[in-house]
Amino acid sequence: MTKGQRFAKDMRKNLSIGTRTHRWSSSTFPGSDMHEMILESIAHATHHDSWYGEARTELFRTAFAALCSYEKHIWSGRADAVLVAYCNNLTPWQLCNLLGDMVDAKITNVGEGERFFAQFLQRNQAQIYARLN
């Protein structure tokens, strides 16, 4: 199991995310934006030493560059509009997997994140357009 896969698995466990968990209607956290909670969990692990246990903190910290890239390119709308729309429609499970893929791609800064998203869009363009239409 890769570090990104471990991250995705642990994040899903941390927030009780299942394959059928919706972004806006989690039974564990009613009325919460699960995308925001996933990203906040990474930020808390990075900025607060005792927020999680030692192993989980280290694992979540590996995704900090992915968090920064996601916020810069997806949340700010800087990336291609089709990619932004696609990412906004991901389930929490799928978002954990995307961030895990970014960890496995060894994203260490926002520039690498930008290249990752451009390549992601190019690789998955047919699937993304089909899902949005």
pLDDT digits (tens, 9 = 90+) for 53-79: 888 899 899 999 999 999 999 999 899
In whole angstroms, what separates CA 6 from the centre of its chain?
13
Please give the single-letter amino acid code of residue 130.
A
Single-letter residue type at 76:
S
Looking at residues 104-124, what average pLDDT do you find? 94
Say which residues have a Cβ less than 8 Å from residue 128's Cβ, sequence separation at least 6.
82, 83, 86, 121
More confident residue, 50 or 101: 101
Sorted by sequence, the CB contacts under 8 Å of residue 53 that are 6+ apart come out as none
pLDDT at 73: 95
pLDDT above 70 for 26: no
**What is the CA angle 90-113-103, rounded to 5?**
75
Residues 38/96, Cβ–Cβ less than 8 Å: yes
Tokens of 88: 């906004």
Number of domains observed in the structure of the chain? 1
pTM over 0.75: yes
Task: Print the domain residue range for 59.
Answer: 3-132
Q: For residue 106, which phi and psi values (nearest 5 degrees)?
A: 60, 45
Residue 131 has pLDDT above 80, yes or no: no
pLDDT given for residue 72 in this prediction: 95
Structure tokens at 92: 């929490």
Alpha helices in the chain (DSSP H): 3-14, 34-47, 54-61, 64-70, 81-88, 92-104, 110-123, 125-132
- Asked if residues 82 and 49 have their Cβ atoms less than 8 Å apart, the reply is no
Q: What is the mean pLDDT of residues 1-9?
A: 95
